[in-house]
Amino acid sequence: MDLTSTSLDSTREAFLVVDIERFRGPLDLLLHLIRQQDLDIFEIPISKITNEFLSAIGSISPSQIDNAGEFMEMAANLLRIKAQMLLPQGISSQEEDPRAELVYRLLEYEQIQEIRAHLSLAESYRGRQFGKGYVTPREDRKKQEITLTTTWDELYTTAISIAMPSMSVIDHKITTRLVAMEDKVDLILLTLQKLKRIEFSKLLEPFETKMHGVMTFLAGLELARNRKVRLRQAKMFSELWVYRFNDAEPEPAELDSHSGEE
C-alpha cells in the first residue's frame, strides 16, 4: 500500500522538530510522525508514537491553547490505546487490536486527502474556463441620465446650514511693494526732459535689485501705452531705447527692424 503520496511536504521537516501550527489537526500530525519514520501504519509502535506525539504537542504555547484541545484529545486516545496494549494478551485475544480504530481513522484521513487533492485539481482546471460576462464590456461612453431627486428646498436648506468660515481666522499676508511704478514713471519722464532718448539699461544703472528693472519696464510700457514715450529695439535682446514721444523719428538703421510698442 502506498502511503507516501499525500503529504510529501511533511518529510522535509527535520526529525521530530515539529511546529504544531503547520498541522491541520492531530491526525495530520500523527500521520506525519508515522511517515517521517517510515513506520508501518498497521503496526504502529504505539508507545513510541505516543511519546513523540506528547513531546510534539508539548511545544504548544499558551496562546495556541484554544486550538490545542483536539491534540489533547488525541493524546488521551493514544494513552488509552497504549494502556490497552499493555493488558495481558490472553485476556484480550478475542477482541480486536486496540489500534484498529486509529489505523482506520488514519487511512480514512489519508483517503480524504487524496480526494481533497483531486478536488483542488478540478477546481484549478475549472478556473481556466470562462463563461459569458467574465471580461466585462468597456464602459459606455454615453453618460447615463440620472433623475435628480433633490429638491430646491433641500438644496437651499443644505446651503444655509453650511457654516460660513469665520473672517477672523483668515490671515492675509501683505507684502509692501518696495519699488513703486510711479517713481519709475517720474524717472523716465524727468530723464526724457533732459535727453531725447535713453537706453533702458541706463535707467537701471543706479539700482541693483531685479524689482527695479521690472518696475521700470512696466513704467515704460505704461508710458508707451499713454503715448508719452516710444520704445524701440533694433532686434531681439539688443538695447531697448526709450524716446521722447514727439522726437521719435525712425532712424534708418532701425527701420527694417521691429519697433516696440507704441
Partner 1 sequence: MRMTQIIEALLFSSDAPLSADELARADESLNEDLVDEAIKELTQIYEESERAFEIKQLGGGYQILTRSVYAPYLERFDTVPKSSRLSTPALETLAIIAYRQPIGRIDIEYIRGVSSAGVIRTLQERELVDVVGRGDGLGRPLLYGTTGKFLEHFGFAELDELPRTEDLPVVLKGENVSEYDETSVGEEHSGRDNMGTDDLERIEVNDDESSPEMHSDSIK
Closer residue to partner 1 in complex, CB, 16/122: 122
Q: Which of 112, 115, 117, 109 is nearest to 34 (CA)?
A: 109
Block residue for cell numbers 484521513? 109
Stretch that binds partner 1, among 125-133, 156-164, 188-196, 209-217 (CB under 8 A): 125-133
Could you tell me the CA-to-CA distances from 63 to 26, 52, 54, 67 in Å, in that order? 18, 22, 18, 9
Closer residue to partner 1 in complex, CB, 31/223: 31
User: Binding residues for partner 1, how many (CB under 8 A)?
Assistant: 45
Q: Which of 11, 55, 111, 201 contacts partner 1 by CB under 8 A?
A: 111
Could you tell me the CA-to-CA distances from 168 to 27, 161, 164, 165, 176 in Å, in that order? 74, 20, 12, 9, 22
Residues 79-108 touching partner 1, rule: CB under 8 A, are: 96, 100-101, 104-105, 107-108
For the bound state, the minimum distance from the C-beta of residue 80 to partner 1, rounded and expressed in Å, comes to 13
CA-CA distance, 98 to 78, in Å (whole number)?
10
Which string of x and - marks every residue 55-74 that binds partner 1 (by CB under 8 A)? ---------------x---x
Residues 152-191 touching partner 1, rule: CB under 8 A, are: none
Residues 129-158 touching partner 1, rule: CB under 8 A, are: 129-136
CA-CA distance, 125 to 53, in Å (whole number)?
38
Counting contacts by CB under 8 A, is residue 22 touching partner 1? Answer: no
For the bound state, the minimum distance from the C-beta of residue 156 to partner 1, rounded and expressed in Å, comes to 42
CA 244 from chain centre, in angstroms, equals 65
Closer residue to partner 1 in complex, CB, 114/251: 114
- Phi, psi for 210 (deg, rounded to 5): -60, -35
Q: Which of 127, 165, 206, 252 contacts partner 1 by CB under 8 A?
A: 127
Could you tell me the CA-to-CA distances from 85 to 48, 97, 153 in Å, in that order? 13, 8, 87
Q: Which of 12, 126, 142, 143 contacts partner 1 by CB under 8 A?
A: 126
Closer residue to partner 1 in complex, CB, 6/216: 6
Whether residue 84 contacts residue 76, with contact meaning beta carbons closer than 8 Å, is answered with: no
* DSSP secondary structure code for residue 228 in this structure: S
Q: Which of 109, 207, 217, 245 contacts partner 1 by CB under 8 A?
A: 109
Stretch that binds partner 1, among 120-128, 183-191, 217-225, 226-234 (CB under 8 A): 120-128
Stretch that binds partner 1, among 53-61, 112-120, 206-214, 228-236 (CB under 8 A): 112-120
* DSSP secondary structure code for residue 205 in this structure: T
Reduced to 3 states (helix: H, G, I; strand: E, B; else coil), residue 99 is: coil
CA-CA distance, 89 to 96, in Å (whole number)?
11
- Phi, psi for 241 (deg, rounded to 5): -105, 140
Binding residues for partner 1, rule: CB under 8 A, are 1-3, 5-6, 24-28, 70, 74, 96, 100-101, 104-105, 107-116, 118-120, 122-136
